[in-house]
Chain A
């Protein structure tokens, strides 16, 4: 029995290797596996076995390298980074890479971008934070991620902050909601930290939760566009039926009395970040899983409700337990997922089962995010993007070495970012970011002056052409820079045989190869 399995594995492997350009020879048997099967894998694999879905092979080192860089730090590996990893013989190199990436500063930049989507960090319309406050808020998020602030503390600080929008940046949580009624705030809290769409709740649940946020006060100061968010004890109590106290009910139906001496937001935060509160931990570990694996255990990741249960409740519970045990260390959850076999599978499915990807039998293809894509093109060509903001006057110009993933303010944007589905940061829903391909995107990458001039006018590519006399070496460098892998012999032959019309062969070939690789599906997708 065992021999049959191995033979069929080899046959399938041989088939895919011969058909594959992306995967190359698999080194899965040599490295990448963690010592023993992890609990994550035990659970994922048991479920796949129950469903009769065979998991895909582990991905090659080259695929893993590229995937881990893009998923963990939103950044393409450079040519030297790619060479070093691919030539490294250490069997533990995948886990070592995960640890390196989690420690890099781009980790904070990239995930601050994601959090800024969810927290709606945007100067203007319909979220009116105003530029200075958007910058301050982004910086606060970025710093929290740099310090790896425990997640419970991160949320508590957001929920209980008081002070100036410029000087106590976390208060902007209460300004980045489209309405300032207690219900609007409660809805944003439910969506962001509980993964719930409160409009699907029974109506009184939202109304009761809103009472905790009914004493949030706002006042302006003498400084232009400064706004103080504070605990306004008298605000709601005045209207309450019982003087000096107010009855409020948590979403789990526990009722408490709010007295004027303690901010209702603190009372709510105590309830929310309690390790026993299943909503809080489930929402964040599920989001993290969704971010890395492309599909949540609960999908959509911000639509928890009784009639949308997790596909694998045991796995969700395991991750929740790990989060609490690690004192809310989100990097620990990232790491658990990244070093699992479930994460390291090939995108080439072994099963035609429509549920294969949703049960993590293979890695799902996803188009690169707008910011990551343009950063990658800039890195390859050694170019930069120009961003500016028309408000307030005088205009703000973002320094050219700032990467697109590091843009603090959703109102600072470009037609490229819009076209490739950057989140408008209007609602805080994960689905606001749109990574679906459109003809306009293809037109832009294939043929726009924006992308073509980045390639044609690239000094970095010009220098590379001059320094690599051997056409094979030149092509190899371009493959490593763009696709993070060595070219196959067949690919090299195609490149060597290519002769573009009307331009010098050497330079023309390098330009056209760069263009072709940037336009290949292998480049445009996480895979």
Chain B
């Protein structure tokens, strides 16, 4: 590696007070140490480490900028009453059999009885009980919660992951072969995550199932193909790919060759090993829970350790119109174990300060249980009030933001709109809310919408920042 490469990888060229010449004089090792020290000094002086990025906001003094987000997406809309906004006094019509919330390790905060492990971690996260947008359709609500905007005219806005991928991914000096935006394990399907930013910012979806003996990450780890046969095939392809040789100066062929090189580094090199859970001790895997959600949380932690800026875990099955309570008893313990272990593990490894964990669905569920047929004990869609949870990355833990009425139906205090939460995420990630987004129409589109654009907002989450 040359000094230029090293400097560039450290993100120091152009911003470091150290000249290249001084580095050459000091020798490579000394230089690296110097730059690293400089980086830390800059960080402690409250300037974000990626000072070269145009979209960098100043972070508050004394806090490190967050570098990764793990988004735990509860696809379908999880029930707020049975998770983080229990209303035991509302009666059987609202609580059903789950009417005994439990105390947490933070005085005055109670959560659902099926979350005992998360109850022991409440100091690490904060609960927003006053999320609201009033939309009861999955697609529109999911779009709202992940873009901060209502669907409108020609433009389809990018979700948070695509935006982070734009400002913290390859355009901003990210070098890893692991894509900057990884989804475990499937895309949402009905919602185009990248919006008008286009395919370059679409997440990499792993496919496969991390709870299986071999996590077959689609494209990276092929079942039943030895490394030797991979090599043989690659040589055969090289020998027969005369067309690519002949056309090698064509920009299309250059793009293809670069993509192929990157792909083989993932298949045969070290980068793909991030998905190899056999490298984790058995007891760690057990702690996360030997199920898809738990093992996805473990993979997310491994990705964060490798500086991947945005990871989404798409957890399905929360659209509980029927058999709601049976589903809660099955799914909440898995979620409890996976999420609680993730928080503890990130904290133990010193990663929680720079990693935001964001738990949310597209909406909540009807506080009043639908006992009548055909639901026979289900909960419908509820966009008027729902919960989100934020942990780590500089967000305060052990707090509750906002409140709902006695039955959890309407927001009573401090409404938080999706764009408020998203703006707070960007702030912690050091992404300037006033930055503009490149778009096919060439319009001046501000990253975070303002009230002047007709978007409902109640300000970023000052309480937690």
**Chain A residues engaging chain B, CB cutoff 8 angstroms:** 19-22, 124-126, 178-179, 184, 187, 197, 199, 347-348, 365-367, 390, 411, 413, 415, 418-419, 421, 424, 426-429, 431, 434, 436-444, 446-450, 452, 456, 491, 494-495, 498, 500-503, 512-513, 515-517, 519-522, 524-525, 527
Q: Which of B19-27, B233-241, B276-284, B430-438 contacts A (4 or more CB under 8 A)?
A: B233-241
Is there contact, CB below 8 Å, between A524 and B256? yes
Is B61 part of the contact surface with A, judged by Cβ < 8 Å? no
Q: Which residues of A contact B207 (CB under 8 A)?
A: 415, 448
Q: Which residues of A contact B262 (CB under 8 A)?
A: 439, 442
8 Å CB contact of B229 from A366, A413, A437, A501: A501
8 Å CB contact of A452 from B225, B252, B266: B225
Is there contact, CB below 8 Å, between B226 and A501? yes
Is there contact, CB below 8 Å, between A436 and B255? yes
- Determine how close the nearest CB of chain B comes to the CB of A480; give it in whole angstroms: 15
Is B123 part of the contact surface with A, judged by Cβ < 8 Å? no
Is there contact, CB below 8 Å, between A418 and B187? yes
In angstroms, Cα B155 to Cα A436, docked, is 21
Is B440 part of the contact surface with A, judged by Cβ < 8 Å? yes
**Contact A437 B252, CB 8 Å, known A450-B218, A452-B222, A502-B228:** yes
- Determine how close the nearest CB of chain A comes to the CB of B244; give it in whole angstroms: 4
In angstroms, Cα B388 to Cα A372, docked, is 42
Is B102 part of the contact surface with A, judged by Cβ < 8 Å? no
**23 residue pairs A–B, Cβ–Cβ below 8 Å:** A21-B242, A125-B140, A178-B152, A187-B154, A199-B443, A347-B250, A348-B246, A366-B252, A411-B190, A419-B202, A424-B192, A439-B177, A441-B259, A442-B263, A443-B219, A443-B220, A446-B260, A447-B263, A448-B219, A502-B229, A516-B237, A520-B243, A521-B243
Is there contact, CB below 8 Å, between A124 and B190? yes
Is B269 part of the contact surface with A, judged by Cβ < 8 Å? no
Shortest Cβ-Cβ A-B pairs, 5 listed: A443-B219, A21-B242, A522-B243, A442-B263, A521-B244
Is there contact, CB below 8 Å, between B240 and A501? no
Q: Which residues of B contact A19 (CB under 8 A)?
A: 246
In angstroms, Cα B224 to Cα A520, docked, is 22
Residue of B151, B204, B219 with most partner-chain A CB within 10 A: B219
- Determine how close the nearest CB of chain B comes to the CB of A249; give it in whole angstroms: 22
- Determine how close the nearest CB of chain B comes to the CB of A477; give it in whole angstroms: 15
Query: Looking across the interface, which residue of chain B has its beta carbon closest to that of A512?
Result: B233
Is there contact, CB below 8 Å, between B143 and A125? yes
Is there contact, CB below 8 Å, between A426 and B237? no
- Determine how close the nearest CB of chain B comes to the CB of A107; give it in whole angstroms: 26
In angstroms, Cα B241 to Cα A513, docked, is 11
- Determine how close the nearest CB of chain B comes to the CB of A180; give it in whole angstroms: 11
Q: In the complex, given contacts A22-B242, A179-B152, A520-B241, what are 13 additional A-B residue pairs having Cβ atoms less than 8 angstroms apart?
A: A19-B246, A415-B187, A427-B154, A427-B440, A438-B259, A442-B260, A442-B262, A443-B263, A448-B222, A501-B226, A502-B226, A513-B240, A516-B237
Query: Looking across the interface, which residue of chain A has its beta carbon closest to that of B235?
Result: A498
In angstroms, Cα B222 to Cα A348, docked, is 36
Is there contact, CB below 8 Å, between A449 and B222? yes
**Contact A440 B179, CB 8 Å, known A125-B143, A415-B186:** yes
Query: Looking across the interface, which residue of chain A has its beta carbon closest to that of B242?
Result: A21
**Contact A443 B267, CB 8 Å, known A450-B218, A494-B240:** yes
**Contact A520 B244, CB 8 Å, known A437-B255, A444-B219, A446-B263:** yes
Is there contact, CB below 8 Å, between A431 and B440? yes
Q: Which residues of B contact A427 (CB under 8 A)?
A: 154-156, 196, 440
In angstroms, Cα B222 to Cα A450, docked, is 10
Is B5 part of the contact surface with A, judged by Cβ < 8 Å? no
In angstroms, Cα B198 to Cα A418, docked, is 11
Query: Looking across the interface, which residue of chain A has its beta carbon closest to that of B443?
Result: A199
In angstroms, Cα B441 to Cα A431, docked, is 11
In angstroms, Cα B177 to Cα A446, docked, is 16
Q: Which residues of A contact B247 (CB under 8 A)?
A: 347-348, 365, 521, 527
**Contact A440 B219, CB 8 Å, known A178-B154, A365-B252:** yes
Q: Which residues of B contact A366 (CB under 8 A)?
A: 252
- Determine how close the nearest CB of chain B comes to the CB of A14; give it in whole angstroms: 14
Q: Which residues of B contact A440 (CB under 8 A)?
A: 179, 202, 204, 219
Query: Looking across the interface, which residue of chain B has its beta carbon closest to that of A431?
Result: B440
Q: Which residues of B contact A498 (CB under 8 A)?
A: 232, 236
Residue of B216, B252, B262 with most partner-chain A CB within 10 A: B252
**Chain B residues engaging chain A, CB cutoff 8 angstroms:** 139-140, 143, 151-156, 177, 179, 186-187, 189-192, 196, 198-200, 202, 204-205, 207, 216, 218-220, 222-226, 228-230, 232-233, 236-237, 239-244, 246-247, 250, 252-253, 255-256, 259-260, 262-264, 266-267, 440-441, 443
Query: Looking across the interface, which residue of chain B has its beta carbon closest to that of A419?
Result: B202
Residue of A415, A429, A446, A519 with most partner-chain B CB within 10 A: A446
Q: Which residues of B contact A424 (CB under 8 A)?
A: 156, 192
**Contact A525 B252, CB 8 Å, known A125-B140, A436-B199:** yes
Q: Which residues of B contact A502 (CB under 8 A)?
A: 226, 228-229
Is there contact, CB below 8 Å, between B266 and A20? no
Is there contact, CB below 8 Å, between B222 and A447? yes
- Determine how close the nearest CB of chain B comes to the CB of A301; give it in whole angstroms: 13
8 Å CB contact of A439 from B226, B232, B266: B266
Q: Which residues of A contact B199 (CB under 8 A)?
A: 421, 434, 436, 438
Residue of A428, A431, A512 with most partner-chain B CB within 10 A: A512
**Contact A199 B236, CB 8 Å, known A437-B255, A448-B219:** no
- Determine how close the nearest CB of chain A comes to the CB of B51; give it in whole angstroms: 28
Q: Which residues of A contact B229 (CB under 8 A)?
A: 500-503, 512
8 Å CB contact of B232 from A413, A421, A500, A520: A500
Q: Which residues of B contact A516 (CB under 8 A)?
A: 233, 236-237, 240-241
Is there contact, CB below 8 Å, between B233 and A491? no
8 Å CB contact of A446 from B151, B189, B190, B267: B267
Q: Which residues of A contact B219 (CB under 8 A)?
A: 440, 443-444, 446-448
In angstroms, Cα B260 to Cα A517, docked, is 15
In angstroms, Cα B242 to Cα A165, docked, is 51
- Determine how close the nearest CB of chain B comes to the CB of A386; give it in whole angstroms: 14
- Determine how close the nearest CB of chain A comes to the CB of B310; give it in whole angstroms: 15
Query: Looking across the interface, which residue of chain B has its beta carbon closest to that of A184?
Result: B153
Is there contact, CB below 8 Å, between A448 and B218? yes
- Determine how close the nearest CB of chain B comes to the CB of A62; give it in whole angstroms: 12
Q: Which residues of B contact A500 (CB under 8 A)?
A: 229, 232-233
In angstroms, Cα B151 to Cα A500, docked, is 53
In angstroms, Cα B218 to Cα A452, docked, is 11
In angstroms, Cα B242 to Cα A60, docked, is 16
Q: Which residues of A contact B155 (CB under 8 A)?
A: 427
In angstroms, Cα B138 to Cα A411, docked, is 14
Is there contact, CB below 8 Å, between A21 and B243? yes
Is there contact, CB below 8 Å, between B259 and A519? no
- Determine how close the nearest CB of chain B comes to the CB of A314; give it in whole angstroms: 29
In angstroms, Cα B117 to Cα A328, docked, is 70
**Contact A20 B237, CB 8 Å, known A418-B187, A448-B219:** no
- Determine how close the nearest CB of chain B comes to the CB of A357; give it in whole angstroms: 9
8 Å CB contact of B267 from A447, A452, A491: A447
In angstroms, Cα B242 to Cα A348, docked, is 13
Q: Which residues of B contact A512 (CB under 8 A)?
A: 229, 232-233, 236
Query: Looking across the interface, which residue of chain A has its beta carbon closest to that of B240?
Result: A516
Is there contact, CB below 8 Å, between B256 and A125? no
Q: Which residues of A contact B242 (CB under 8 A)?
A: 20-22, 491, 522
In angstroms, Cα B441 to Cα A187, docked, is 13
Is there contact, CB below 8 Å, between B154 and A517? no
Is there contact, CB below 8 Å, between A447 and B220? yes
In angstroms, Cα B266 to Cα A309, docked, is 45
Is there contact, CB below 8 Å, between B259 and A439? yes
Q: Which residues of A contact B151 (CB under 8 A)?
A: 125-126, 178
Query: Looking across the interface, which residue of chain B has its beta carbon closest to that of A429?
Result: B440
Query: Looking across the interface, which residue of chain B has its beta carbon closest to that of A491?
Result: B240
In angstroms, Cα B229 to Cα A447, docked, is 12
Is there contact, CB below 8 Å, between B189 and A439? no
Query: Looking across the interface, which residue of chain B has its beta carbon closest to that of A364?
Result: B252
- Determine how close the nearest CB of chain A comes to the CB of B380; give it in whole angstroms: 15
